[in-house]
Amino acid sequence: MAKKGQKFRHYPFSLKMQTVQMRLQGVTKREVAERLGIHDVSRLKVWLRQYKLKGSEGLQDRRGGRKRPLQKDEYVRQLELENDVLK
């Protein structure tokens, strides 16, 4: 759990790919973290798992992305659901 005032590190996609490639070549987590300056060694395990499940797409940062605009029929459906809730 995050602590009050805790700062989270953001790692670029290229660094994540580099760490995954190093891990797949057999370099230990500790060595990879030391070489690339990653503070949280357990983060490497998460990145490797995401890479194995979704490929390079799993390492992309999805935070703060724009929502796609709703199509007309989706918008109408959303309004109908809101009206049903309000009744």
The domain segmentation of the chain, as residue ranges, is: 11-61
pLDDT computed for residue 50 by the predictor: 93
Question: Where does residue 33 rank: exposed (0-12), middle (13-18), buried (19+ CB within 10 A)?
Answer: middle
| Model confidence pLDDT, tens digit, residues 24-69 | 999 999 999 999 999 889 999 999 999 999 998 888 877 777 777 7
pLDDT computed for residue 67 by the predictor: 72
Kindly indicate the confidence band of residue 17, based on its pLDDT and cuts at 50, 70 and 90: very high
**pLDDT at residue 8 is higher than 90:** no
pTM of the model: 0.65
43 three-class SS: helix
Q: Which residue's structure tokens are 């959303």?
A: 78
65 three-class SS: coil
Contacts of 47 (CB under 8 A, 6+ apart): 16, 19, 20, 59
Residue-by-residue DSSP string for 24-45: HTT--HHHHHHHHT-S-THHHH
For residue 40 the two structure tokens come to 């949280």
**pLDDT at residue 21 is higher than 90:** yes
pLDDT computed for residue 61 by the predictor: 79
